[in-house]
Structure 1
């Protein structure tokens, strides 16, 4: 993996989020942690990732407050990685990626894992983006208010943001 420029100062929430969890291994670690994986060896076995890469991604996820490292719950000398509330809040992102993949990356009838409710055993409903009145929104019905890049907008009393299409 080549060096990338940090997006910590970027005013776009998507860019900052991708900076923290946007690579393959980080997202798959979060996916596995949501499924109950806790130990380094379990992540390594599940993902088949090189130990140095796994170690780096776990460290980054701990530094970002997504995972916490703690002594193993069984009293052994091992460490466990558990999701923090910040990490658990990534659940909708993982579900959205899952549902997008189900819709676009599998042939009709092709078998794949399915996310179901524990209590009922029924598949989880499709996610959607909804307006304040409950209707489903399309991308064309939204706009991002970007931070102004001109000093005049940043001055006291200035607008500070201006609407712009993505």
Structure 2
């Protein structure tokens, strides 16, 4: 199956991966969550080619993850602002970061602190009803007709 064809599969993971599943997209999102919004800033922080970055940003705009907002008319310049859909990817980024901290680096490069209490935070997935932590084996899946 071609990578781009994943958006045709009746599977939430496959369709999400068709948008996020290349090596630069999550890094662009990481920078956006860190406050980067302008093309030149993305390019310098990521050390990515202009064409590749332009393709990734355009795809994220097409998907409704970023809004492209003009901030200068002469010369014409744009910022990329996370939409609600984009902000909803924050837990995905946190999960990837947590996994990377556990398995890919000895000393995590970033520590997170909860603004409300000031303490170091270890975000995790919880049940929306009882607030208990959720891990593999704690959930039961019921498949819709036609899924997989």
Aligned mate of 2:110, from 110, 113, 119: 113
The Cα offsets for residues 69-92 of structure 1, whole Å up to 9 and x where unpaired, read as: 111279863111111111011111
The Cα offsets for residues 113-137 of structure 1, whole Å up to 9 and x where unpaired, read as: 2222346543223313437333333
Number of aligned positions between the proteins? 147
Find runs of 4+ consecutive structure 1 residues off by over 4 angstroms: 73-76, 118-121
- Confirm or deny that 1:67 pairs with 2:66: yes
TM-score by length of 1: 0.76
Alignment match, 1:135: 132
Instruction: Flag the structure with more relative contact order, 1 or 2, with Cα contacts below 8 A and sequence separation at least 6.
Output: 2
CA-CA distance at 1:96 after TM superposition: 1.1
Alignment match, 2:97: 98
Q: Distance in 1 between matches of 2:133 and 2:108?
A: 29
Alignment match, 1:125: 122
Unpaired segments ≥5 residues, structure 2 = none
Q: Are 1:11 and 1:147, in contact at CA under 8 Å, matched by a contact in 2?
A: no
Cα root mean square deviation, aligned: 2.5
> Which residues of 2 match residues 17-32 of structure 1 at below 5 A?
17-32=16-31
Larger Rg computed on CA atoms:
1
Go from structure 1 to structure 2 and tell me whether the alpha carbon gap of 1:35 and 1:131 turns closer, same or farther (over 3 Å shift).
Answer: closer
Q: Are 2:124 and 2:133, in contact at CA under 8 Å, matched by a contact in 1?
A: no
Go from structure 1 to structure 2 and tell me whether the alpha carbon gap of 1:99 and 1:73 turns closer, same or farther (over 3 Å shift).
Answer: farther
DSSP-derived class of the 1:5 partner: helix
> Which residues of 2 match residues 25-44 of structure 1 at below 5 A?
25-44=24-43
Q: Distance in 2 between matches of 1:122 and 1:65?
A: 33
